[in-house]
Structure 1
Amino acid sequence: MVCLFLMLMVVTITCAYGIPALPPLPIKDGCNQVESELTMVRLAGEAVILDFPIFMSVVKKRKIVPPAAKYQISKTNQTDGIVFHHEGRVQQHDEQLWFLPAQASDSGNYTCTYRNDSYCVTGNITLLVYESTSVDMTQLSHPLDAMMGEELKVFCPSLSRFNYTYTQIDWYKDSSPTALQPGREGNRGSLIIPAVRRPHAGLYTCKLTVLINNQQYKVSRVFKLQVTGPEYEITPSNPVPEVSTTSDPGLLSTKAYRTINSLTAQPPVIISPVTGTVLEVSPGSGLDLFCQVQTECQMADSTLVTWLVNGQSVELSYLERRALQGEKRVTRVSKGCQVELKLIISVITEEEEKTEMKCVAQNAGGRSEVVAQIQLEDSPFTWLIVAVVAVFFFLTVVSVFIYVLFKPKRKKNMDYFLARQNSTFSV
């Protein structure tokens, strides 16, 4: 009886709440297609590790583990059916392709396929490799905006695939052949500008040497700094601070730097999201975040709004391959103007659990910021198991109660007769 009730309850819960299935992937040439990765742009002569983060997150989320299947990476514009191996200048290591070093001829569209006799899934990415003598470095740069007076600390981006723990990282500004001087504060390999000014705008390049298979290879990254905010007069008492780099590990800057504020301007107010907001997202899905800021209309154009991921700019964070900030939008509202900035994350993985998403708004009147946190939704299977266990215990308790309630009872007269009879025979 208990088992029957339990089975009926499980069927009822499943029918009532259901287990939402993931949307099917589009199919092309008999293979399931994952959306394209963000284009990777690199410099010839440097080590490049090509990977497929969106593709891998989909494979993991859908638990696609076909028996005897392997990752196969190919260059889709190749006609000779080239196959990459674990040796040579271009090597395949599972779902990664290593270029040691990369050449301009490596540019093209690459496809990663996971296939067996019954299932196939594939993803693709475009790699652009430029010669250093023939490319505008802005094409290789990560954009970065900063407000006048802001303290800026930048780490060399997109190095997570390399082991550079004991590597010296040098920074250069624009086309200068001389590296910036290291400072005494900050994290190893970071670039520090104590108080951003207009002359600090420009291209910054970080360069390092990495060790792969006991051989040294060059790696560099570029970002373009744009400075926004009101102009101010440079005087001997208010000079342009020096830009410095850091090489000492583990030391965080504790110096306080003055920010240029107007006496009349009001600081921006972030109306959405609210600090403490928890963003529940299902793994494998995308996420659109909107930061809405209210400010005076005359300050709207100069108001800087940006998203930070765990305290780092999106372009320099671990999400830089899967996230993109949209264009700033300004609209008039009843109490001034509203500035809106959209952040698009193409796919959410388990890595985003507890990730802090911070929206920062700053203008001449001051600075405001709010922090939201990503939390992964529990799987429907988890809730189903919890419900089944709860129903099982409930039905067990009910069954025991019913058994005790309707248990046959002996008649007192019969018990008394048997007791007298036993006492008579004992005499």
Structure 2
Amino acid sequence: MFFLYLLIMDVSAFTIQPEGHMVVPENCQFRGKHFKTSFKVEGEPVVLRCPQVWYWLGASAIPHVNLTWRKNDSVKVVPGKEETRVWVQDGALWILPAMQEDSGTYICTVRNISYCDEMSIELRVFGKTEASLPVLSYPQILTFSTSGSLVCPELSEFTHNKTDMKIHWYKDSVLLDPDNKKFLSVKGMTRLLIHNVSVEDAGYYSCVMIFAHQGMRYNITRNIKLRINKKEEETIPVIISPHQTILTSLGSRLTIPCKVFLGAGTHSTTMLWWMANNTSIDNAYQDGRVTEGQRLEYSENNKNYIEVLLIFDPVIREDLTTDFKCVVHNTLSFQMLHTAVKEVATFSWGIALIPLSLVFFVLGGMWMHRWYKHRTGKACGLTTLKTDHQDFQSYPSKIKEIK
């Protein structure tokens, strides 16, 4: 309530100096041109709000300020009197009725004793011709085979405290039949309800409101270009990755994709994210070591997929005991898939040489055995040969003795 009170008091503090005392401010900070150009129709009321007023309302405390308007090609400020066609009221620039020569750049200046800034806004006033309809139209979208509503935009300046306002709706310049149950316009509302939207409902709509000022009645027209989108059909998503166990090395950079198959279903209504020990990744890793990649949406063979990466930079031992989950959700299903990060077995030459050493040991033993056996056999042969030779030498001696 206190903040609301301050806001009301701050808005009421915007005052317009008398025309005779207005001068073009000096040494003002120029905030630039407002991003949105105002397109209006000739002969209708136009109200421009000071673009940078919201900067001032966002301050913690706003002192008494002066607000003035001027056109870019003029040093004269707009007066704060309704007797003229162009005037300032409650900080807003009013042009009633607007003419094509009113097109141009308007500069709003906000200043107090110690500060001054300016911001410009572009106004373009078109004649009432069909050629200007695409430029003057506000794009809106409804979904096929559903019920939705069109909004008659930018009427807040003219509908304040008016509960009895009546808006007339047209489609392709033809007044909609109030007895047509497909379209419903309620008194006091700025919306047109459309039941069971069809492709034929696409096109240009116009909403017209009567505005009375000083005994004069003016039309306020807003044009809408309605586009019909196909009804987005949901399917039950299927998580096709990751695997339950991901092998990696400590200190390495790791990327784990969570890939979800949607078939012919829509991307937009399906949410996909990662969790770590029942906590979101952002909360679990505020240091940014583990992050989620951008959501990817793509099609393969006319089938839709979505994918979100889990990125480790780097992997540490703590990750080996963390429960990571890929979670997917839409209106038809809620699923999750657990995955764990495990350290891959490292290669050790010492361990690998143990069986190799055993092989060499066995082969060496076999070779030694054969060598020893061969050497033993050779020694036995030499001994036998020597014995026979001695017998052969003694034999002739015995013969001689017989002689």
TM-score normalized by the length of structure 2:
0.50
- Structure with higher RCO (Cα < 8 A, 6+ apart): 1
**Bigger Rg, which one:** 2
Higher relative helix content: 2
Question: TM-score when scaled to structure 1?
Answer: 0.47
